[in-house]
Amino acid sequence: MYGVRFIAVTDSVDSQEGLDDMLPIRNFMNEQYAKDISKKVRAAHRIRGTLGIPLGQPLYGYIKDPENKNRWIVDLEASKVVKKIFQMFLEGNGSETIARILSEEHILYPTEYWRSKGINRGGKKTYNDPYRWNDSTVSKMLTRQEYCGDVVNFKTRSLDFKHKARLDNPKENWVVFKDVHEPIISRSDFDHVQELLARGNRKISKYKGGKTTMFTGLLYCPDCGRKLWYHTNTINSDIHFYCCSNYEKETRGTCKTRHYIREDALEHIVLSEIRHLAALLKKDEVYFAELLQAKAESTLAEKKKELENELRSVTSRKKTVDNLYEKCYEDNAAGRIDDEWFVHLSAKYSAERKDCRDRITEINEELKKTIIQ
């Protein structure tokens, strides 16, 4: 089906007899094999996308047509929620308010809804509450042009077969096919929502100003471990403060305490501590150096332990992927899986094996730096 293909060679780092002299050749052959498969998958992907076939899974509100897997049809139950979200936004409700209303009305979060229908869409379960909606989820749904009945392909891209991460494609590179499936939202309502969103984003950008403080990313809640968010008092703009990003009364989070602290108070505390350390250094330089050494050794020991745990986990995963890779090849040779599925799986396992090998090398280099002289 795909013509001549490279023979996958399972690599072996070492053996009882020592290093394998064929390892460089095997690694080269495996990389060329994965590269060849990746080109074919990309070509097939490009052809499907330019023909107007949806490249992703159906959005919340749609399901695959049982008679044509390349076509989306409206999911009557979920589409009512989508319509409700757009309507509430047009009525003046923000994303956070809409998310709160959906949660209070016990409407299943999209991932949980799919699970309830026996649809496996992947993703991790972030919260214990299946009815907890995020404002980010609502915001993203409000921007999906597919709800007008359009197919939008090539919104993301990958660098090459060695990288699993998807990157956003510039909007001018998208390929849009209009009126392919039944719309849930009218085009006029969708366009109106985009205008409101753009207007709101400009206000938010102007208000926040993109300010970064000296404590940005360094403050965490002592109870739940979430970051503290920077705020400016709405009545007195001279007052700046931080509070827990997981506070239940503001973000429907789980933290019972707000953990409010003013920026000027925090600056005073930090400055006092710096002065105390400076005085200690001046009074007893030897003792101060011993304290720093003990702190450095403690930090290195903790980091070393974390790296060793990660190394065991990544090494174990690499062994598992190696076995899956080999089994995939055997199953294809025996006719248990077809060529198309084999191409998909082998490319996936090849990329993951490469990622594991790279991460193992990185961890070993980092472990060398934790050796206390």
Q: pLDDT per residue over 129-153, tens digit each?
A: 788 898 889 999 999 999 999 888 8
- 223 part of a folded domain: no
**Cα torsion for 118, 120, 121, 124, to the nearest 10°?**
100
Q: What is the pLDDT of residue 200?
A: 66
Neighbours of 341 (CB within 10 A): 13
268 and 197 assigned to the same domain: no
Q: What is the pLDDT of residue 83?
A: 94
Question: What's the CATH number where 80 sits?
Answer: 3.90.1750
Length of the chain: 373
| End position of a domain, from candidates 208, 236, 256 | 208
**Rounded Cα–Cα distance for residues 246 and 219 (Å):** 13
74 and 203 assigned to the same domain: yes
- 344 part of a folded domain: yes
Q: What is the pLDDT of residue 5?
A: 46
96 and 152 assigned to the same domain: yes
Q: Do the Cβ atoms of 318 and 357 come closer than 8 Å?
A: yes
**What does each C-alpha distance from 36 to 8, 159, 283, 350 come to in angstroms?**
11, 15, 67, 11
Q: What is the pLDDT of residue 9?
A: 46
Least confident of 58-72, 98-112, 190-204: 190-204
pLDDT tens, position by position, 202-216 = 444 344 444 557 787
| End position of a domain, from candidates 280, 305, 323 | 280
pLDDT at 126 over 60: no
- 40 part of a folded domain: yes
**Cα torsion for 148, 149, 154, 155, to the nearest 10°?**
20
Q: What is the mean pLDDT of residues 287-302?
A: 80
24 and 149 assigned to the same domain: no
Least confident of 14-18, 30-34, 290-294: 14-18
**Rounded Cα–Cα distance for residues 351 and 353 (Å):** 5
139 and 271 assigned to the same domain: no
Return the half-sphere exposure (C-beta side, CA atoms, 13 A cut-off) of residue 68: 7
Q: Do the Cβ atoms of 178 and 149 come closer than 8 Å?
A: yes
Q: What is the pLDDT of residue 124?
A: 56
Q: What is the pLDDT of residue 15?
A: 46
Q: Do the Cβ atoms of 141 and 82 come closer than 8 Å?
A: yes
92 and 179 assigned to the same domain: yes
85 and 203 assigned to the same domain: yes
114 and 184 assigned to the same domain: yes
Q: What is the pLDDT of residue 142?
A: 94
Q: Do the Cβ atoms of 41 and 168 come closer than 8 Å?
A: no
Q: What is the pLDDT of residue 358?
A: 87
- 269 part of a folded domain: yes
Q: What is the pLDDT of residue 47?
A: 74
**Rounded Cα–Cα distance for residues 85 and 60 (Å):** 12
| End position of a domain, from candidates 177, 208, 239 | 208
Per the structure, the count of domains in the chain is 3
pLDDT at 277 over 90: no
pLDDT at 288 over 90: no
**Rounded Cα–Cα distance for residues 293 and 287 (Å):** 10
Ranges 165-174, 245-254, 360-369, most confident = 360-369
94 and 196 assigned to the same domain: yes
β pairing state of 240-244 and 14-15: unpaired
Q: What is the mean pLDDT of residues 223-247?
A: 80
**pLDDT above 70 covers what percent of the chain?**
76
Least confident of 105-109, 161-165, 241-245: 161-165
Least confident of 187-196, 210-219, 359-368: 210-219
Averaged pLDDT score across all residues of the chain? 78
169 and 123 assigned to the same domain: yes
**Rounded Cα–Cα distance for residues 98 and 95 (Å):** 5
Q: How many helices (H) and strands (E) does the chain have?
A: 10, 11
276 and 291 assigned to the same domain: no
Tokens of 367: 């472990």
- 217 part of a folded domain: no
Q: What is the pLDDT of residue 207?
A: 41
- 7 part of a folded domain: no
pLDDT tens, position by position, 43-96 = 666 777 677 788 888 999 999 988 888 889 999 999 999 999 999 998 888 888
Of the two residues 347 and 49, the one the predictor is more confident about is: 347
Which structural domain, as residue segments, surrounds residue 94? 62-208
Tokens of 172: 């001018």
The burial of 149, by beta-carbon neighbours within 10 Å (0-12 exposed, 13-18 middle, 19 or more buried), is given as: buried
Ranges 20-34, 70-84, 142-156, 275-289, most confident = 70-84
- 363 part of a folded domain: yes
- 119 part of a folded domain: yes
78 and 197 assigned to the same domain: yes
Q: What is the pLDDT of residue 373?
A: 47
Taken in order 311, 313, 316, 317, is the CA torsion positive or negative?
Answer: negative
Q: What is the pLDDT of residue 2?
A: 44
